[in-house]
């Protein structure tokens, strides 16, 4: 297994003017083999490409840390009860479980490539069955941003129209808990706040994006604004008219 690929994910071009060579997309991660759903058209400008960071994906989507803590807890309880054999079994099973989850996370990250163009978001995903998800920017109704470790984060998208995507098809690239209307989510991406701002700027050509202030249970992270300024929301925000300059509000994804 090549576990060094995650370092390449951070080496992305975050400029709205430079763009990325279309041909380079076929040499990085899963290929689209000319499928129009997964290949930017000649007229599209590729603004960014990237993949999930492996360790963060394993912890947040595959819950390796929670699984390890749970199995370690079982082992400790067995020791306190004087059952050394059960403690060793629980510890061994915990190592195996965390290892399997980490391998699944590696396979998921390895088979994922997110591509942002000036017209749409393309998600090349699928561990067993390759899938290409096409999200036109004009269909994005609202977006939620959740910062993670080391400038990484998750960005989820609420879409206009009827339900077209399934949680099973998108998993783990989907916002947890939104089963009726699944929300595609970029997981554990590098420089997430800057990417959120870039998505907002690209989306602005189709009109201002709606604010997403739902499910805020704690002080929200910094709000990414078109002008690059940050603000903070605490508690339950009051309803206020949306200003065209605001994009991608900070909210747990």
Task: For residue 64, give Cα distances in angstroms to 58, 119, 181, 188.
Answer: 6, 36, 27, 15
d(CA 60, CA 46): 28
Report the range of poorest mean pLDDT among 89-93, 160-164, 236-240: 236-240
The answer as to whether 84 is a domain residue is yes
- Asked whether residue 202 falls in the same domain as residue 150, the answer is yes
pLDDT band at 129 (very low <50, low <70, confident <90, very high): confident
Q: What average pLDDT does this structure show over 139-150?
A: 87
- Asked whether residue 39 falls in the same domain as residue 134, the answer is yes
- Asked whether residue 85 falls in the same domain as residue 124, the answer is no
- Asked whether residue 116 falls in the same domain as residue 96, the answer is no
Give the residue numbers spanning the domain of 79: 58-104
pLDDT of residue 253: 37
Q: What is the CATH number of the domain that holds 10?
A: 2.30.29
- Asked whether residue 145 falls in the same domain as residue 90, the answer is no
- Asked whether residue 12 falls in the same domain as residue 132, the answer is yes
116 beta partners = 48, 121
In this predicted structure, the answer to whether residue 153 has a pLDDT above a threshold of 70 is: yes
User: Where is pLDDT greater, at 228 or 185?
Assistant: 185
The answer as to whether 27 is a domain residue is yes
- Asked whether residue 144 falls in the same domain as residue 179, the answer is yes
In this predicted structure, the answer to whether residue 1 has a pLDDT above a threshold of 50 is: no
Each residue's pLDDT tens digit, 21-71: 676 676 666 766 667 777 888 888 999 999 999 999 999 999 999 999 999
Global model pTM greater than 0.85: no
d(CA 138, CA 224): 19
- Asked whether residue 74 falls in the same domain as residue 185, the answer is no
pLDDT of residue 95: 96
- H runs (alpha helix) in 125-246: 167-170, 192-203
Residue closest to 35 by CA, chosen among 44, 26, 43, 27: 26
Domain count, the chain: 2
pLDDT band at 97 (very low <50, low <70, confident <90, very high): very high
49 beta partners = 115
pLDDT of residue 221: 37
């Amino acid at each position: 297994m090549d576990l060094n690929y995650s370092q390449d994910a951070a080496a992305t071009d975050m400029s709205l003017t430079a763009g990325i060579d279309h041909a380079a997309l076929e040499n990085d991660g899963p290929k689209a083999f000319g499928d129009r759903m997964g290949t930017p058209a000649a007229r599209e400008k590729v603004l960014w490409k990237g993949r999930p960071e492996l360790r963060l994906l394993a912890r947040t989507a595959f819950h390796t840390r929670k699984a390890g803590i749970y199995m370690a807890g079982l082992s400790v309880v067995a020791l306190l009860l004087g059952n050394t054999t059960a403690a060793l079994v629980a510890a061994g099973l915990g190592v195996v479980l965390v290892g399997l989850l980490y391998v699944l996370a590696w396979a998921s990250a390895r088979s994922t490539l997110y591509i942002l163009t000036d017209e749409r978001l393309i998600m090349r995903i699928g561990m067993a069955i390759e899938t290409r998800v096409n999200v036109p920017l004009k269909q994005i109704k609202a977006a939620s941003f959740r910062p993670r470790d080391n400038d990484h984060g998750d960005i989820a998208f609420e879409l206009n129209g009827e339900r077209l995507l399934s949680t099973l098809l998108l998993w783990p690239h989907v916002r947890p808990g939104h089963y009726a209307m699944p929300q595609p989510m970029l997981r554990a991406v590098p420089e997430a706040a800057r990417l959120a701002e870039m998505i907002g700027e690209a989306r602005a050509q189709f009109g201002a994006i709606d604010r997403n202030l739902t499910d805020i249970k704690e002080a929200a992270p910094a709000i990414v604004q078109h002008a690059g300024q940050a603000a903070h929301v605490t508690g339950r925000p009051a309803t206020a008219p949306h200003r065209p300059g605001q994009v991608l509000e900070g909210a747990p994804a």
